[in-house]
C-alpha cells in the first residue's frame, strides 16, 4: 500500500492502483469514456484529467499510477475547465440528435456532458458523414456517433479474441472499423454484441425490431406468441426500476400480456426439450464411439465462431437446435396442431439476452416447420423499451404465470441462462437416464461460478465423465486449440459466447460488470431452487410432447425438426 492524498483526504491504496481507481475507491467519481474496469486502460479520451502536484500539466488519471506521498486534486477550476473543453470538443463533432437516439437517457457521453455542467458548445466543430453499417440482422454501427474510446476494440479482441475492430486513419479521420472498412456482415463478426454492450454511445446498437413486433401485435389476423429466454427474467428489471439480480418473471409475463401477445410461453420449456435431445445425443456418442468431446451448440455467437474460425471441429458440436429454435419449430407444428391454428397466421417472437439470436433465427435451415420458425427476436433492452412505450407501470404489475403447455418448465432449464447451467441440466438428466437411479444430489457445484474455464469429473454409474465449461470466445479458443492438438480427454463441453453465459449477453441491460453478473447468476440459481420440478426429463409438458407427438428423443420426427447442421 502507499499513502496518498486525494482532495484533502489521506488514504492508503494498493501500490499498483491508478489515480482513477484510488479516487473511485473513496467515492470520488472522475468522469471518463474510454476507461472500463474490465479492460486495460488506454487514456485515450482525456476526460479523466486531474491535477497531481508536481506533475507537468494535468494528467489522465486512468493511466497515471499512484506513488507514495502523491497529492491529487480532482476538482480545481483548471481541472473542471479542461474536462469541459474536452467534452465540448467531442460534442462539437457529435450528432445532436440525442432526443431521438436509441441511447437517449442511457448514453455515457450525454451523462458526462450533463455532469460536467455543459450549457454551450464553444467550438464550431465539423460533423462526420459516414454511412450506417446496417446490412446484418443483429447490430447497427453508426461511426458518426463513435467517440473513439476503443472499448469495442478491447471487448472484441481481449474478451472474445475475435479482433473484428481496429482504429483506421489519422486525426479527424480516425475511425473504428473492421478491416478494409467492411460491414460487419463481411467481417469475421460472431454478432455476440459485446461491442454494443460496452459502447458508451449509440455507435453500436442492436438492430431494433420493435416496429415489426408492434405491427404484428396490432394485426388482428395474426396470432402472436412470445417466448422468453431464461436470462431475461433476472435482468429486465434493471431497465424498469428494479435492482440487478431482482427476479421479475411474473411482472415480465404480465407486461407481455398487456402488450397484447396472445400467448406468453417460456424458452425454458424448449430448453427442457433440448436436454432430452442433447442428453440422448451425448449418451449415443458416448456408448457408440461417436465424436467426443461433444460440445453444446445453443449459444449462436459461439456457433458462428466455430463456423468462421474452427470449421474442422464442427463435428464436435451437438446437432441439437438451441431452445429458441426448438421452441420456434414446435410452436408452428405441435402447438399449431394442438390449438388448431393455421401456422401461417402465427407470428413467433422471442425475447433474448442476445444479439446473435437475431442472426440464428434467420438462418436458412431454421424453417423446418415450413415457415421461418422464429419470426422476430427482441433483446432484453428492446422489450424494456416496448414496455415503457406502452406506458406500463412495470413495478406495479401483479405477477402472472406463463401459459400452458409451452410455458411449463423446470429449474434445470432456467439455469441455462448462467455459465455451467446447460452442463448441469444435462448431467441431471444423463445421470438418471444412464443409471436408471434417482440422483441423491442434483446440484453440480463444480460446474457453477464465474471462472472462465471450469473442469470437473463426474461419476455416472461405472463411468467417469470429464467435462469442461467455458465462456467468452477467447476462452473457447483455448479449449478448441487443445482439441485440435489432441491434448484433451474431455467427454462433454459447454461453451457460451458471453461473459458469465447469457446473463452477460450482448442484448442485456447496459452496463454489466462482474458484480452485476454475480447478482444475475445468484437469481438464476434462486429460480432453480424455487422450482417445483428441477430435472428436464420430469417436465410433464415435455413428457406429453414425446408421448403424444414426437415419439422418442432422436426419433425420426426429432431428427427432422429438432436437429440441425452447420456450415463450414
- Residues designated catalytic: 278, 281, 298, 318, 357, 360, 365, 502
Binding mask 373-412 for ligand HC0 (x = CB under 6 A): ----------------------------------------
Whether residue 559 has a cis bond before it, omega within 30° of 0:
no
Stretch that binds ligand HC0, among 139-147, 211-219, 223-231, 534-542 (CB under 6 A): 223-231
CB of residue 230 vs ligand HC0: minimum separation in angstroms?
4
- Report the C-alpha gap between 156 and 91 in whole angstroms: 26
Q: State how far the alpha carbon of 288 is from the alpha carbons of 185, 236, 293, 317, 489, in Å.
A: 39, 43, 13, 17, 17
Cβ 125 to ligand HC0 shortest distance, Å? 40
- Name the maximum alpha-carbon separation found in the chain: 79
H-type helices in 94-224, by residue range?
A: 108-115, 151-154, 194-198, 210-217
Per-residue binding string, ligand HC0, 500-529, x by CB under 6 A, is -xx--x------------------------
Among 199, 354, 476, 510, binds ligand HC0 (CB under 6 A): 354
Q: Which is nearer to ligand HC0, 480 or 502 (CB)?
A: 502
> Which is nearer to ligand HC0, 217 or 354 (by Cβ)?
354
**For ligand HC0, which is the closer residue by CB, 18 or 355?**
355
Which residue lies nearer to ligand HC0 by CB, 136 or 274? 274
By CB under 6 A, name the one of 193, 200, 323, 499 that touches ligand HC0.
323
Which listed range, 70-78, 227-235, 389-397, 482-490, lies at the site for ligand HC0 (CB under 6 A)? 227-235
Task: Indicate which single residue of 32, 44, 201, 267 sits in contact with ligand HC0 (rule: CB under 6 A).
Answer: 267
Q: How far apart are CA 540 and CA 501, in angstroms?
A: 27
Task: Choose, by CB under 6 A, the member of 46, 103, 141, 357 that binds ligand HC0.
Answer: 357
Pick out residues in 173-202 that bind ligand HC0 (CB under 6 A).
none
Q: Write out the DSSP string of 535-551.
A: -GGG-HHHHHHIIIII-
* Closest CA relative to residue 235, chosen from 252, 255, 222: 252
Site string for ligand HC0, 412-441 (x = CB under 6 A): ----xx----x-------------------
- Helix (H), strand (E) at residue 564: none
Give the angle 126-131-133 at the CA atoms, nearest 5°.
130
C-alpha cell at 443: 446440484
Handedness of CA 284, 285, 286, 290 (dihedral sign): positive
Is 271 a binding residue for ligand HC0 by CB under 6 A? The answer is yes
231 binds ligand HC0 (CB under 6 A): yes
Q: Per-residue string for binding with ligand HC0, 459-498, x by CB under 6 A?
A: -------------------------------------x--
Answer whether 372's CB lies under 8 Å from 349's CB. no
Measured between alpha carbons, how far is residue 177 from residues 24, 93, 187, 200 in Å? 32, 18, 10, 16
383 or 496: CB nearest ligand HC0: 496
What residues from 12 to 71 belong to the interface with ligand HC0 (CB under 6 A)? none
Which of 270, 262, 265, 243 minimizes the C-alpha distance to 252? 265
From 107-115, 181-189, 308-316, 320-328, span contacting ligand HC0 (CB under 6 A): 320-328
Q: 181's torsion region: left (phi>0), alpha (psi -120 to 50) or beta?
A: left
Binding part of the chain for ligand HC0, among 115-123, 141-149, 241-249, 347-355 by CB under 6 A, reads 347-355
In which order are the strands placed within the sheet that holds 49-52? Answer: 9-13, 2-6, 71-73, 49-52, 59-60
Q: Strand, helix or coil at 156?
A: helix
What is d(CA 473, CA 111) in angstroms, rounded to the nearest whole number?
A: 31
Contact predicate 197/510, CB 8 Å:
yes
Residues in the interface with ligand HC0 (CB under 6 A) total 22
CB of 293 to ligand HC0, least distance (A): 17
Site stretch for ligand HC0 (CB under 6 A), options 41-49, 80-88, 348-356, 449-457: 348-356
DSSP SS3 for 256: helix
Residue placing its CB nearer to ligand HC0 in the complex, 354 or 473: 354
CB of 505 to ligand HC0, least distance (A): 5
Which stretch, 135-143, 353-361, 373-381, 455-463, contacts ligand HC0 (CB under 6 A)? 353-361
Backbone angles phi and psi of 530, in degrees to 5: -85, -10
Task: Please select the residue that binds ligand HC0; options are 352, 374, 426, 470, rule is CB under 6 A.
Answer: 352
Binding mask 295-314 for ligand HC0 (x = CB under 6 A): ---xx---------------
Contact between 235 and 509 (Cβ < 8 Å): yes
Q: How far is the CB of 41 from ligand HC0 (least distance, A)?
A: 30
18 vs 322, beta carbon nearer ligand HC0: 322
Long-range contacts of 383-387 (CB under 8 A, 24+ apart): 383/232, 383/236, 383/252, 383/256, 383/351, 384/236, 384/239, 384/240, 384/509, 385/210, 386/210, 386/213, 386/214, 386/259, 387/240, 387/255, 387/259
With 0-12 CB in 10 A as exposed, 13-18 as middle and 19+ as buried, what is 168?
A: middle
Residues contributing to the site for ligand HC0 (CB under 6 A): 229-231, 267, 271, 274, 298-299, 322-324, 352-354, 357, 416-417, 422, 496, 501-502, 505
Amino acid at each position: 500500500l502507499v499513502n496518498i492524498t486525494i482532495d484533502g483526504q489521506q488514504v492508503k491504496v494498493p501500490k499498483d492502483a491508478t489515480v482513477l481507481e484510488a479516487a473511485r475507491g473513496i467515492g470520488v467519481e472522475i468522469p471518463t469514456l474510454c476507461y472500463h474496469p474490465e479492460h486495460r486502460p488506454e487514456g485515450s479520451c482525456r476526460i479523466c484529467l486531474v491535477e497531481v502536484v508536481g506533475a507537468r500539466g494535468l494528467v489522465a488519471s486512468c493511466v497515471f499510477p499512484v506513488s507514495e506521498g502523491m497529492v491529487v486534486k480532482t476538482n480545481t477550476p483548471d481541472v473542471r475547465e479542461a474536462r469541459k473543453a474536452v467534452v465540448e470538443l467531442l460534442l462539437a463533432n457529435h450528432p445532436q440528435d440525442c432526443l431521438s437516439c436509441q441511447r437517449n437517457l442511457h448514453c455515457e457521453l450525454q451523462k458526462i456532458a450533463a455532469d460536467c455542467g455543459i450549457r454551450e458548445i464553444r467550438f464550431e466543430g465539423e460533423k462526420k458523414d459516414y454511412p450506417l453499417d446496417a446490412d446484418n440482422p443483429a447490430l447497427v454501427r453508426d461511426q458518426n456517433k463513435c467517440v473513439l474510446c476503443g472499448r469495442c476494440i478491447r471487448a472484441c479482441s481481449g474478451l472474445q479474441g475475435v479482433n473484428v475492430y481496429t482504429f483506421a486513419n489519422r486525426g479527424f479521420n480516425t475511425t473504428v472499423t473492421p478491416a478494409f472498412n467492411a460491414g460487419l456482415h463481411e467481417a469475421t463478426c460472431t454478432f455476440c454484441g459485446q461491442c454494443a454492450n460496452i459502447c458508451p454511445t449509440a455507435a453500436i446498437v442492436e438492430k431494433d425490431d420493435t416496429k415489426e413486433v408492434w405491427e404484428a401485435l396490432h394485426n388482428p389476423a395474426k396470432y402472436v406468441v412470445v417466448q422468453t429466454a431464461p436470462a431475461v427474467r433476472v435482468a429486465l428489471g434493471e431497465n424498469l426500476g428494479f435492482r440487478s439480480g431482482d427476479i421479475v418473471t411474473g411482472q415480465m409475463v404480465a407486461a407481455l400480456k398487456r402488450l397484447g401477445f396472445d400467448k406468453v410461453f417460456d424458452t425454458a420449456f424448449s430448453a427442457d426439450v433440448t436436454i432430452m435431445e442433447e442428453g440422448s445425443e451425448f449418451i449415443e456418442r458416448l456408448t457408440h464411439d461417436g465424436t467426443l468431446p461433444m460440445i453444446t451448440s445453443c449459444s449462436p455467437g459461439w456457433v458462428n465462431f466455430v463456423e468462421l474460425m474452427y470449421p474442422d471441429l464442427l463435428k464436435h458440436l451437438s446437432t441439437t437446435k438451441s431452445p429458441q429454435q426448438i421452441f420456434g419449430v414446435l410452436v408452428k407444428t405441435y402447438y399449431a396442431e394442438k390449438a388448431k391454428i393455421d401456422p401461417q397466421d402465427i407470428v413467433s417472437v422471442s425475447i433474448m439476452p442476445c444479439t446473435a439470436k437475431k442472426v440464428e433465427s434467420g438462418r436458412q435451415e431454421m424453417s423446418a416447420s415450413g415457415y421461418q420458425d422464429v419470426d422476430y427476436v427482441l433483446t432484453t433492452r428492446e422489450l424494456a423499451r416496448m414496455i415503457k412505450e406502452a406506458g406500463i407501470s412495470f413495478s406495479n404489475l401483479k405477477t402472472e404465470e406463463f401459459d400452458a403447455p409451452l410455458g411449463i418448465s423446470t429449474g434445470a432449464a432456467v439455469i441455462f441462462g448462467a455459465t455451467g447451467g446447460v452442463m448441469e441440466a444435462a448431467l441431471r438428466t444423463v445421470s438418471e437416464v444412464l443409471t436408471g437411479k434417482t440422483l441423491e444430489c442434483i446440484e453440480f457445484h463444480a460446474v457453477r461460478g464465474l471462472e472462465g474455464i471450469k473442469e470437473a469429473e463426474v461419476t455416472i454409474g461405472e463411468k467417469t465423465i470429464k467435462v469442461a465449461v467455458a465462456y467468452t470466445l477467447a476462452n473457447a479458443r483455448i479449449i478448441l486449440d487443445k482439441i485440435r492438438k489432441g491434448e484433451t480427454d474431455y467427454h462433454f463441453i459447454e461453451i457460451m459466447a458471453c461473459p458469465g453465459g447469457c446473463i452477460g449477453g450482448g442484448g442485456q441491460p447496459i452496463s454489466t460488470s462482474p458484480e452485476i453478473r454475480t447478482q444475475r447468476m445468484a437469481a438464476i440459481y434462486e429460480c432453480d431452487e424455487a422450482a417445483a420440478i428441477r430435472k428436464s426429463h420430469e417436465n410433464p409438458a415435455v413428457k406429453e410432447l414425446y408421448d403424444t407427438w414426437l415419439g422418442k428423443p432422436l426419433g425420426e420426427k426429432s431428427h427432422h425438426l429438432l436437429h440441425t447442421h452447420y456450415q463450414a
